Structure 1
Amino acid sequence: MSIQLLHGARLFDGHRFHEQSGLLIENGKIIRLVEAGNDQGQSWPENTQIIDLQGGILAPGFIDAQVNGGGGVMLNDGPSAELMFTIAAGHRPYGTTSLLPTLITDTGAVTANAMAVAADAVAADKGVAGLHLEGPHLAPTKKGAHLAELMRPVAADDIKAMIATAEKIGTQKTGTEKTGCLVVTIAAEQITPDQVRELAEGGVIVSIGHSDCSYEEAMQRFDAGARGVTHLFNAMSQFGHRAPNLVGAALDHPAVWGGIIADGHHVEPAALRVALRAKRGEGRLFFVTDAMSLVGSGRDTFQLNGRTIQRIEGGYCPKLVLEDGKTLAGSDLDMASAIRYGMAKLDLSTEEALRMATSYPAAFLKLTDRGVLAPNKRADLVWLDDQCHVKATWIAGQGQNFDQNQDQAL
């Protein structure tokens, strides 16, 4: 692969902007940032492809830790590496270059199948960065769109299988950089602190969610190693002034990260603004889409566990509901839309909104090879216009153009 110099856009490195700077990449990796003025008079190797982006923003590719489907398919349709690639391809036009296909509560056989194929999907390097199991260890009282009859406590065999899967995914790495992970969403009621500790020490990222637990129960699991909460506010015990519950624990514990669905339907923007101001510690809130199969598909309905999920237009973006017309069933959100929502409705600066889709989820997932633009990191990139609509993306240096008015080779 030839060396590429990308310049002409504002460069966001995952933390801050660099004005009038460029990015030098080769063989799928970032060589270095070319700071403003430092490229004058330099002679690049004769095979260097110089690409003038002529405006916009060049940033790390977006990372989505919770994606149920996309491109017309759901992971629950029948987990396979090819199906995971279809989901990743469905989200790539919206700036996502790394995602965790997410399995909603299903049978033991389907869950085992998803775990079996995850490592191969990560190794193929087509935008899949691991696996997220959202169930079956959830609380029936906070089932959301999941099937309560399939929910159950964590058993010893489950822990063994999760650790084995995390280890297998974790072998897909180069040098000391971590490039894949396993996330499991588990209700506090369905797992003991000792079990949390065993999973965390075995390399599994534990996220508490779909839980009706108390503040004290949540803090015990966080102290034992649970790293985050799944879609903060949704399907969990709410904050009260005498019973802070799971929401309060997530905001109060300094080490805990939290995904948020910023679509205007799952959480009122005022609640998200309060949560963003309240979150303390090293842990941060970050964007997830919780997207279903309709993203990137052009369809309006799909089937989930034999139930019809329909898209209803309105608001900032459409919402997805069960046949009762009320119960939310994932989202129709893409990551670029979440960023725009954050700036428009959550008082976020462009920098913070971009961090919540890049360096923050990378830190939560411990994916040390991406999420920032720095030497030796992956050349996973997104090129945005000034309104944060996607023009092009790169995965490991391989570009794909999504702007019909832009025809230069990437």
Structure 2
Amino acid sequence: MAGATVVVLHGARVFTGDLLLEGQAVVLEGDTVRAVVPTAEIPPGATVHTLPGDTLLAPGFVDVQVNGAGGVLFNDTPTAEAALAIAAAMRRTGTTGLLPTFITDDPTRMREACEAALEANSRPDSGVLGIHLEGPFISRERAGVHAPGFIRAPDPSDLDYLTALPRRFAAHGGRVLMTLAPECVDDATLRRLATSGVVLSAGHTAATSERTTQALKAGVRGFTHLFNAMPPVMNRQPGPVVAALTHDDAWCGVIADGVHVHADNLRLVLKVKPPGKVFLVTDAMPPVGTSVTSFMLQGRTILRRNKRLETEDGVLAGADIDLTEAVRHCVHSLGVPLEEALRMASLHPATFLGVHGHRGRIAPGHRADLVLLKEDLSVHTTWVGGQARSPEK
């Protein structure tokens, strides 16, 4: 970009999304990565920032499922300002791009949320990459904390609106992700949504493995918080989980917080799925980034206790985690190599959404969206569009 300031970051190790490098400098030009070069080849005249030697510079994290953060819940306030506030709160934890997530709710409010996300996505360097509609076309049997009264089947008006959304978001590189239950939506509707550009994910579902397989053929691309809000695997009823594991092309989002899914189940997913098909999500709620101990969700009190967010009778309601914590859990508790854990929080979700051409790597032409991690894998600094911010700001 002509006239843009050239900034060089050096001194830290660099993980490009593919390789872990020593002695390299990252050259930024405006909001874009221009090059990764040996430190001896730093271009003259650039503004040079020396990073601490015990830090690691990595691609910024991408989270496709964020209900809220920083005290804000998108369902409560489906506005552009709320989406931007959630993105700003999660940016402090290493997430430089996210989908504000709107769970099953009133049809009018769902459209308000979509319009709000469109506005937020249109603002430069907002960190809002589109919208995730988690519901309302889901299973009442596996609703979790979703309000049963708002669960419904799609009607012609829904489909007209939803199939027009991807083109509208595409004007600013945005994406539309929708979680639905395959048993609640027919194949013709799945094909219509997928063909329009909606990224379809199976979740909050009690579908058989056979129905799930049909849905994958009809356009479903992945699975939302695999294992959660799904039936357990049974010997004669393998259900959606086994379909997810046995179809190599299917993507699996997982909540790696030590609460939602047993460690051995996560190890199984990572062992069975092809490399690159498992990515991290937070399913974050308003308490993330705050000290609050409770919040309201569609008239129900959600308590923050024992590293859980749950109703008074113990039903999980999202997660109390950010992606940096999820990366640490993968490395320290699951034995995932650091490079792959970082990819699970950046390159893999970016690829799932189809934005990997400019996110998820530190490479020429990619966005200058970066995270600098300390030795303990906590966040030192993030950059969005080449602009730095420490976690305290």
TM-score bracket for this pair, using the shorter chain length: over 0.9
Q: Deviations over 1:322-355 (max 9, x none)?
A: 021x100001111100000001121201011101
| Alpha-carbon distance in structure 1 between the residues aligned to 2:233 and 2:24 | 45
Is 1:401 the counterpart of 2:390? The answer is yes
Q: Assess if the C-alpha contact under 8 Å between 2:92 and 2:392 holds in 1.
A: no
Alignment identity in percent? 41
Deviation at 1:403, TM superposition (A): 7.0
CA apart distance, 1:359: 0.4
Once the two structures are superposed, what CA deviation does each residue of 1:248-305 show, in whole Å capped at 9, x if it has no partner?
A: 001111111011011111111111111211124x761110000000011221111100
Partner residue in 2 for 1:336: 324
Match of 1:212 among 206, 210, 224: 206
Contact 1:256-1:283 at 8 Å conserved across structures? no
Q: C-alpha offsets along residues 140-180 of structure 1, whole Å, 9 cap, x if unaligned?
A: 000101111110112222222112111111111xxxxxx31
SS of 1:286 mapped into structure 2: strand
**Residues 25-36 of structure 1: matches in 2 within 5 Å?**
25-34=28-37
Pair 1:360-2:348 in alignment: yes
Q: Distance in 2 between the 1:283 and 1:245 partners?
A: 23
- Distance (Å, rounded) in 1 between the aligned partners of 2:373 and 2:72: 26
Q: 1:110 to 1:43 in 2, by over 3 A?
A: closer
Please give the alpha-carbon distance, in whole angstroms, between the structure 1 residues aligned to 2:252 and 2:46: 44
Map 1:109-128 → 2, pairs under 5 A = 109-124=108-123, 125-128=125-128
C-alpha distance in 2 between matches for 1:16 and 1:70: 31
Which of 358, 363, 366 is the aligned partner of 1:374? 363
Specify the code of the residue in structure 2 equivalent to 1:15: D
Q: Aligned with 1:217: secondary structure?
A: helix
Q: Which residue of 2 aligns with 1:140?
A: 140
Q: For 1:331, what is the secondary structure of its paired residue?
A: coil
Q: Which SS does the other structure have where 1:246 is aligned?
A: helix
CA drift of 1:188 comes to 0.9
CA spacing shift, 1:148–1:382, aligned 2, 3 Å: same
How much does 1:364 deviate? Answer: 0.3
Task: Pick from 216, 221, 236 the counterpart of residue 227 of structure 1.
Answer: 221
Counterpart for residue 260 of structure 1: 254
Output the TM-score relative to the length of structure 2.
0.96
Q: Counterpart of 1:290?
A: 283
1:312 maps to which of 302, 305, 315:
305
Q: Is the 8 A contact 1:4 1:51 kept in 2?
A: no
Aligned to 2:178: 184
Q: Which residue of 2 aligns with 1:408?
A: none
For the residue of structure 1 that corresponds to 2:345, the secondary structure is coil
In 2: Cα distance, 1:60 partner to 1:394 partner: 9
SS at match of 2:165: helix
**How far apart are 1:402 and its partner, in Å?**
2.7
Displacement of 1:43 after TM fit?
6.2
SS in 2 for 1:354: helix
Cα deviation for residue 53 of structure 1 reads 3.4
Mark the CA change 1:43 to 1:195 in structure 2 (over 3 Å): closer, same or farther: closer
The residue identity in structure 1 corresponding to 2:218 is A
Pair 1:252–1:336, CA change in 2 (3 A): same
Structure 1 residues 399, 149: CA separation in 2 closer, same or farther (over 3 Å shift)?
same
* Residue matched to 2:106: 107
Matched position secondary structure for 2:226:
coil
Question: Residue 19 of structure 2 aligns with which residue?
Answer: 16
Are 1:15 and 1:359, in contact at CA under 8 Å, matched by a contact in 2?
no
Number of positions where the alignment pairs a residue of Structure 1 with one of Structure 2: 388
User: Which residue among 182, 190, 197 is the counterpart of 1:203?
Assistant: 197
Q: For the residues of structure 2 that align with 1:92 and 1:118, how far apart are their CA atoms?
A: 17
Structure 1: any 5+ residue segments left out of the alignment? 173-178, 405-410
- Asked if 2 retains the 8 angstrom alpha-carbon contact of 1:90 and 1:297, the reply is no
Contact map agreement 2:23 2:39 (CA 8 A) in 1: no
SS of alignment partner, residue 92 of structure 2: helix
**C-alpha RMSD of the superposition:** 1.5
2:73 partner amino acid: M
CA contact (8 A) 2:13 2:53 kept: no
